[in-house]
Chains A and B, each alone.
Chain A
Amino acid sequence: MNEIDHKADVVIIGGGVNGCSLAYQLSKRGMKVVLCEKGYLCSGATGRCGAGIRQQWSTRENSELAIKSIQIFERLEQELGQDIGLRQGGYLIVVHDKSDMKQAKSNVNMQKALGLDVSILTPDEIVDIVPILDVNGMHAVGATFCPTDGHVDPFKTTHAYAQAAIKHGAQLYKFTKVVGIKKKNKRIDSVLTDRGKISTDFVINAAGAWSKQIAEMVGVKLPNKPFRKEILVTERVKPLFDAMVISFKDGIYFSQQEEGQVLGGIPIPNEKPGYLTAPTFDFLHHMAKTLARYAPPLKHVNVIRQWTGYYDVTPDALPIIGEVEGIKGFIQCNGFSGHGFMLSPMVTKILTAYIADGRTPHILKRLSLSRFKGKKIVREVSVVG
């Protein structure tokens, strides 16, 4: 391998969508950026995710970040000059009973106040939008629907960011492992990698499920826990539906991709945190059973592959972003709890404004690591997978 640069303004740890987006934006602002990725780009959660983008959340923080992120996704192809596979077929969230409906109404009111086009559907309207669904099988009393939710291709997006970053002079080091971080007088001094040392003012911890270990290198304790999540994908079939279908109660999500394959996931009961990689038959069975109940015609479609990835989960299922108190230059961009891809455009924009211009929008304070210090937290409840 070639010699690496030993000096940078910013070192980004993690070559997923967040790391590559930051590499692009910061290098575009004229900063000298180095990105270190222990595997290949997209080898972690980005390349294993369900590719959905949605704006329907229970907390204001996630809704705000997601709405602004989708506005950025809508103009990203033009900005980067490359296809990112954006398709807006909506997200249909199944509502199963009275208490579900109460939560749905409260979510929709909050989302509408933020300007989102979202509505509550009757069971008949559900099948108008996704004809293969069985309202009785799903035990649906209604649904919420937002037509501007949808899909983006995580590989295309991350590769497009990476290429744009390289054009602006960023160095992206694949297969380069960070082994230590040095601080001096309460500020970041340098990053140690298996290919040498890099002096820097800023370190961005965008290492997904490995962010906790990265933070420990400078004595910072993150509350994040890794959870194995499983997904399956079917063979390609003719276009059947456009929307992503999800249920918070059953934890299921599934959609049809651009090429025709149906892709989806569901948690298996009593899953414990930890670095487990093996896919399970329990998942295949539970997912297939639930899918057959939701969309009976899919019984005849073949599953060709299952795989796993990690959610980097925080106690409130909201990301940790911004500078850590007491260590100047140590920036968190992790704890996305399964939503890192869809929130990445806005989160990385906020962090770029902080690093390049010193701007601190209010949401940075609300999503800082210090929010966990002895205060009561409000958990995001609209979570699947």
Chain B
Amino acid sequence: MSDKIFICRCEDLTKEEIDQAIDEGYKTLEELKCKLRLGMGSCQGRGCLLLARRLLCQKTGKSTEEITVPPSRSPFIPVSIGTLASDKDE
């Protein structure tokens, strides 16, 4: 079994990679997102952002309240272009 602990499964990010980025100075969830694409996959951060926040708390000594979670972006669940393009009557 691999020792790797995956935090963001959509973007294949391990705990080690996130810890390393935090050490490099990316100390907010927004910055980790920009640096690693954390939470930018098809689940939109549902699986990973709170775990990554915990890592940030451990590394920076901040409380969870002090670490802002990036805004949830619509359409919230994946919706096809065809559905979004359709008019009322179709």
User: Which residues in A have some Cβ–Cβ distance to B below 8 Å?
Assistant: 39-43, 47, 155, 159, 234-236, 259, 279, 281, 284-285, 287-289, 291-292, 298-307
Interface membership of B19, Cβ < 8 A = no
Chain B 2-44 interface residues, beta-carbon cutoff 8 Å to A: 28, 30-31, 34-35, 37, 40-42, 44
Residue of B nearest to A175 (CB): B28
Apart from A289-B84, A299-B82, what are 11 other A-B pairs with CB-CB below 8 Å?
A40-B34, A41-B31, A47-B34, A235-B42, A281-B74, A300-B82, A302-B79, A303-B80, A303-B81, A304-B42, A307-B73
Whether A288 contacts B73 by the Cβ 8 Å rule is no
Interface membership of B61, Cβ < 8 A = no
Contacts of B82 in A (CB 8 A): 288, 292, 299-300
Contacts of B85 in A (CB 8 A): 285, 288-289, 291-292, 299
Q: How far is the CA of A43 from the CA of B28 in the complex (A)?
A: 12
Whether A40 contacts B31 by the Cβ 8 Å rule is yes
Contact A284 B84, CB 8 Å, known A40-B34, A47-B34, A279-B73: yes
Specify which of B40, B73, B74, B81 is in contact with A234 (CB 8 Å cutoff): B81
Contact A303 B78, CB 8 Å, known A235-B42, A291-B85: yes
Whether B31 contacts A306 by the Cβ 8 Å rule is no
Number of interface residues of B (CB under 8 A): 21
Q: How far is the CA of A281 from the CA of B73 in the complex (A)?
A: 12
Contacts of A39 in B (CB 8 A): 30
Contacts of A292 in B (CB 8 A): 81-82, 85
Specify which of B30, B42, B73, B83 is in contact with A306 (CB 8 Å cutoff): B73
Residue of B nearest to A302 (CB): B78
Q: How far is the CA of A242 from the CA of B78 in the complex (A)?
A: 24
Q: How far is the CA of A41 from the CA of B79 in the complex (A)?
A: 31
Contacts of B75 in A (CB 8 A): 284, 303-306
0/1 interface trace, chain B 33-76, chain A, CB 8 Å (1 if under): 01101001110100000000000000000000000000001110
18 contacts between A and B (CB under 8 A): A40-B34, A41-B34, A47-B34, A235-B42, A236-B41, A236-B42, A279-B73, A279-B74, A285-B84, A285-B85, A289-B84, A300-B80, A303-B80, A304-B75, A305-B40, A305-B44, A305-B73, A306-B73
Closest Cβ–Cβ distance, residue A198 to chain B (whole Å): 21
Specify which of A40, A234, A305 is in contact with B30 (CB 8 Å cutoff): A40
Residue of A nearest to B75 (CB): A303
